[in-house]
A = this chain, B = another copy of it.
Amino acid sequence: MISILLVDDHPMLRQGVAQLIELEEGLMVVGQAGSGEEALHLAAQLDPDMVLLDLNMQGMNGIATLQALREQGFNACVMVFTVSDQHDDVVAALRAGADGYLLKDTEPEVLLQSIKAASQGQPVFSPQLARVLASGVRDQKADSAERMGELTGREAQILQCIAQGKTNKRIARELAIAEATVKVHVKNTLKKLGLRSRVEAAVWVLENRVFE
């Protein structure tokens, strides 16, 4: 039995979705929130298996709510359920820790199946987003490649070390500089490339054959 928290500032829509879900075997609505603040409270209190989250809400919007949820340690599945198919919204949702992104014009049957799939840990997206997602990925890679040219010599050197699996301490020793300095270069490199960790940096370097 999958317990679900609905978050949307339209009571009517919540009601419709809740009815749909309740009729389905194995799914159960354990709570409904009409705002981000309420969602945070109910998520902590009810600890549902999944949150179905609208983006366009008055006050605290969906992205902010999602970020706050993750910050307060909520690790269960969060599915964005919204009308927006805008590139920025999709990217922001994924960055904030969304596990899926469904548009509101999704067929009821598909919505139910998607909820089940997502609760298994499978990432779920509306097919209409394929183009957006693909371009998003492409943009990101193009961005990184472009920004690669902005790296200083030292930063490129350190990026190469990261892609060899070296630790900051080891890099510091090999380049004969302080570990704190290495960290600065790592931080600036990650920022310039739009990456979030040294692992992502290593993956990016190897996948794009940057130093070959």
Residues of A within 8 A of B (CB): 75-77, 97, 99, 119-121, 123, 162-165, 167, 169-170, 172-176, 179, 195-200, 202-204, 206-207
Contacts and interface: CB of A to CB of B under 8 A. Distances in A.
Nearest to A163: B203
A24 B112 CA distance: 78
Query: How many copies of this chain?
Result: 2
Counting chain B CB atoms within 10 Å of each CB, the highest count among A77, A164, A165, A206 belongs to A165
A123 B175 CA distance: 10
5 contacts: A77-B173, A77-B176, A119-B176, A164-B203, A165-B202
A188 to B, nearest CB: 18
A172 B207 contact: no
A200 B161 CA distance: 11
Contact of A165 (B123, B167, B199): B199
A75 B178 CA distance: 9
A179 B170 CA distance: 28
B75 A174 contact: no
A54 to B, nearest CB: 20
Contacts of A200: 165
Contact of A206 (B120, B176, B195, B207): B207
Contacts of A199: 162, 165, 167, 198-199, 202
Given A77-B176, A165-B197, A203-B206, 9 more contacts: A76-B173, A76-B176, A97-B173, A99-B173, A121-B173, A121-B176, A163-B203, A167-B199, A199-B199
